[in-house]
Amino acid sequence: MERTERRAATRAEVRPATPRQRATRAARNGGEPTLEFTGRVPYDAYVHASTLHRLQAPLSSDPGEMSFLVISQIMELYFNLTCHELRETQQLLRADRVREALSPLRRAALHLEGLNAAWRSLRWMTPADFNRFRNLLGEGSGFQSAMYRHLELLLGLRDPALIRPFRRQSEVHAELTAALNAPSLWDDVLALLARQGYDLPRELLGRDVAEEHQPHPAVEAAWVQIYTDGPDNQLRMLGEALSEVAEWFGDWRWHHVKAVQRTMGAKVGSGGSAGLAWLQRSMARVVFPELWSARTAM
């Protein structure tokens, strides 16, 4: 409801324009941009830039904290955007529209590439730089990102314990619980393969989706067959697009590990974990596992 209301408010402020209207305006302006508006600047009404730029509230006077805070917010936006693309992919796959599903999936990979690039803006940060404001963050930790948890759940990484921190935020917790109990993108891919005639066991397709998928030889065999069928096979194209998403996501986790090593070494994490060691262990959980193991048999 809130998003619908915001959309309606934006539409009221951003008036549609036809090509003819744009041409007329350009002619009237002599090729110069419009400088007078009766109300809010349309760009700000659409992008809400003035709102975005008021969302930073550093806890210290250290100038480097602003970089840390803004990059964290940029990553949150990328998490949300990637989730949006993966949900669109799911809807298309459920309708057996495989070729159409490639577009949002490829966009998701590009968003993850941008997400990875965000780490480069923090390469200046040494332990001394981070320590100037780290204590002020208290227990605040990227581990507590609800949108990152959504992304993991969509990709098939399922651990019910990781949504417990949000129990006191009822709306966020309800959304994460719903995501946990809904099929992941990989679950939808397996269902698609079964509908396409690949022999996947019933117990695999009917399992409790809240539990993390365990690699299965029948899924691996299906992907070996798909890749054998030639480069024009839509399912092979799907496999490559999924591989791209998984690879960029893995790169992001690796860059996270390196950023932690650079800024705090093996110190314990702000959120109560073992920090670096916990992140390294989490990387062992592979996204779309049979897509990778199948390559050994191709």
| SS3 track for 218-268 | HHHHHHHHHHHCCCCCHHHHHHHHHHHHHHHHHHHHHHHHHHHHHHHCCCC
Please, is 271 exposed, middle or buried when counting C-beta atoms within 10 Å of its C-beta (0-12, 13-18, 19+)? middle
**Using CA atoms, how far apart are residues 249 and 75, in angstroms rounded to an integer?**
13
Backbone angles phi, psi at 273, to 5 degrees: -85, 180
- Flag whether 134 is marked binding: yes
Q: Which residues contact 155 (CB under 8 A, 6 or more apart)?
A: 86, 184, 185, 186, 245, 246, 249, 287, 288
Binding residues: 134, 256
Binding residues for heme: 256
Binding residues for substrate: 134
